């Protein structure tokens, strides 16, 4: 005899709607379109990505409807420092007599960065589900954009496919991580890292290994411990994390060198990696001599800076000299270019070189903010830890070693908001855990955190 479940006559089960309201539907569709529009760009005072072209009609509507979201007190320091960067750029441009066209480009870069932050703060609304939607839109742009190099998969892998594929892989890994199936997570990371090793993508290999090491279940074992404002447990965990991250970076550097010696790469790549491995700073930073040049440019004008897109022939020569002296090239003759700009190839050094100390302070703050976010993920280990760790570690690399401009502006704004999101929700959980009377409330709230429509991190219930 079969047993059925009683239900009222005439009652029909209705599936849960995809969106909780028409406003939520508009916000999430707009969010994905805003991210995906980065696939295209137009030339208007430099390259203007489609994401920012959409800001002109979209931002006024967002400010009128939900503008208060963008001006949360949590973001106050960011706005003050970003405004300082803009002011520093104006002062540096005036002092150095920068040409009008370059001055417009430098100003637009900072202004659009701030506007990107405002728009995303409104659309994301500190919600996990929307963070995931925008992350997927970034992956879509990277994957589709990489087809420009489809005739050579090794180039396609390096120019977008690897990062897009890894974002989706880490999203899948997060599903198993939340279920504590860590073995599957390690296999996914090993496959992605192996592909980056095979195709010689050294920076991504390092990011994969470091981000995975930081969310090992060795830390944040399901309960929050606190011993004073600077508890010994937290200090010990931080030291171990730094050692683990350093060891992972060293292992990635060594694996590139070993693979080159084992003949995994073609002759040109083999010669390049072996030459860089013998350099003073290893393979992972061997392709970033601009950092040392930018540091010298900062030392030459640490307060005011050099202005937007500054002419710097002597710094081009210095870059080549540094590569030659540290064993990364056989020639001390720089390449010929029409307009030699001071090499920076870094969010942080670009802001400081061009906008002076106010630009540097802004990006030092952002760097510290993201590092705090990485450590918080490592400590509480939310269900989405593999994805969060990869995104933030990748952004740390960009802050230190990648150029800032075009579509990178809105992505940078997203990663900053993601860091705020990670830092805010766990701190509320810590307060609840420290109050025994609120533990049952906290258990209820953490079950809500797994619902993407609520402002949480996807924390597993045991946390």
Contacts of 415 (CB under 8 A, 6+ apart): 370, 391, 392, 395
Q: Chain-wide mean pLDDT for the chain?
A: 81
Mean pLDDT value across residues 119-129: 94
Nearest to 264 by CA among 328, 197, 189, 190: 197
Q: How far is CA 322 from CA 272, 310, 326, in A?
A: 16, 20, 6
69 within 8 A of 122, measured Cβ to Cβ: yes
Higher pLDDT, 218 or 127: 127
Q: How far is CA 136 from CA 18, 171, 172, 204, 278, in A?
A: 17, 9, 12, 18, 38
pLDDT for 326 equals 63
pLDDT at residue 228 tops 50: no
Cα(211)–Cα(215) distance, integer angstroms: 7
Q: 149-163, 191-205, 414-428: lowest mean pLDDT where?
A: 414-428
User: What token pair was written down for 33?
Assistant: 């379109």
Nearest to 296 by CA among 252, 253, 255, 343: 343
The length of the chain is 463
Q: 263-267, 345-349, 429-433: lowest mean pLDDT where?
A: 429-433
Residue-wise pLDDT tens digits, 50-68: 999 998 889 999 999 899 9
pLDDT-derived band at 458 (thresholds 50, 70, 90) equals: low
Mean pLDDT value across residues 342-352: 93
Phi, psi dihedral angles at 98 (to 5 degrees): -70, 140
For the whole model, what pTM was predicted?
Answer: 0.85
pLDDT for 315 equals 86
Phi, psi dihedral angles at 305 (to 5 degrees): 85, -175
Cα(140)–Cα(90) distance, integer angstroms: 36
Cα(349)–Cα(402) distance, integer angstroms: 10
Cα(248)–Cα(216) distance, integer angstroms: 12
Query: What is the SS3 assignment for 48?
Result: strand
DSSP string, 212-277: HHHT-TTS--SS----STT-HHHHHHHHHHHHHHHHHHHHHHHHHHHHHHTT-S-HHHHHHHHHHH
Cα(461)–Cα(463) distance, integer angstroms: 5
User: What token pair was written down for 213?
Assistant: 């090491």
Find the helix or strand (DSSP H, E) in which 47 lies: strand 47-49
Mean pLDDT value across residues 362-373: 97
Higher pLDDT, 37 or 286: 37
Cα(405)–Cα(106) distance, integer angstroms: 10
Residue-wise pLDDT tens digits, 86-112: 999 999 999 999 999 999 999 999 999
Mean pLDDT value across residues 309-325: 81
Cα(94)–Cα(306) distance, integer angstroms: 10
Cα(311)–Cα(128) distance, integer angstroms: 43
pLDDT for 303 equals 97
pLDDT at residue 462 tops 50: no
CB atoms within 10 A of CB 347: 26
**For the CA atoms of the chain, what is the radius of gyration?**
24
């Amino acid at each position: 005899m079969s047993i059925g479940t009683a239900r009222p006559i005439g009652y029909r089960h209705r599936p849960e709607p995809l969106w909780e309201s028409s406003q939520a539907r508009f916000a999430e569709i707009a969010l994905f379109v805003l991210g995906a529009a980065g696939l295209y760009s137009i030339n208007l005072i430099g390259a203007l990505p489609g994401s920012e072209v959409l800001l002109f009609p979209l931002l006024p509507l967002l400010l009128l409807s939900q503008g208060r979201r963008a001006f949360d007190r949590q973001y106050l320091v960011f706005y003050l420092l970003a405004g300082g960067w803009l002011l520093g750029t104006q002062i540096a441009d005036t002092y150095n007599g920068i040409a009008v066209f370059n001055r417009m480009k430098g100003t637009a870069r900072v202004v659009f960065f701030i506007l990107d932050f405002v728009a995303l703060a409104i659309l994301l609304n500190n919600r996990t589900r929307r963070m995931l939607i925008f992350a997927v839109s970034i992956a879509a742009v990277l994957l589709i954009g990489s087809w420009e190099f489809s005739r050579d998969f090794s180039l396609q892998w390096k120019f977008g496919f690897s990062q897009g594929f890894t974002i989706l892989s880490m999203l899948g890994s997060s599903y198993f991580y939340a279920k504590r199936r860590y073995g599957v997570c390690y296999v996914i990371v090993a496959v992605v890292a192996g592909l980056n090793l095979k195709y010689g993508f050294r920076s991504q290999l390092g990011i994969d290994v470091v981000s995975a090491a930081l969310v090992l279940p060795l830390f944040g074992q399901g309960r929050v411990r606190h011993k004073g404002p600077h508890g010994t447990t937290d200090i010990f965990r931080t030291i171990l994390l730094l050692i683990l991250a350093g060891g992972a970076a060293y292992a990635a550097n060594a694996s590139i060198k070993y693979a080159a010696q084992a003949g995994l790469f073609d002759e040109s790549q083999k010669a390049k990696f072996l030459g860089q491995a013998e350099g003073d700073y290893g393979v992972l930073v061997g392709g970033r001599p601009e950092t040392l040049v930018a540091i010298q440019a900062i030392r030459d004008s640490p307060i005011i800076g050099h202005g937007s897109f500054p002419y710097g022939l002597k710094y081009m020569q210095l870059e080549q000299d540094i590569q030659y002296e540290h064993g990364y090239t056989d020639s001390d003759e720089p390449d010929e270019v029409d307009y030699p700009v001071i090499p920076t190839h870094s969010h942080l050094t670009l802001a400081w070189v061009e906008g002076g100390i106010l630009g540097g302070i802004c990006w030092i703050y952002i760097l510290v903010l993201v590092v705090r976010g990485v450590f918080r993920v490592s400590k509480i280990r939310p269900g989405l830890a593999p994805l969060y760790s990869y995104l933030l570690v990748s952004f740390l690399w960009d802050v230190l070693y990648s150029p800032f401009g075009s579509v990178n502006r809105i992505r940078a704004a997203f990663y900053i908001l993601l860091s705020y999101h990670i830092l805010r929700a766990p701190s509320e959980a810590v307060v609840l855990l420290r109050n025994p009377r609120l533990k049952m409330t906290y258990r209820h709230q953490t079950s809500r955190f797994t619902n993407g429509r609520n402002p949480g991190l996807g924390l597993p219930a045991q946390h």
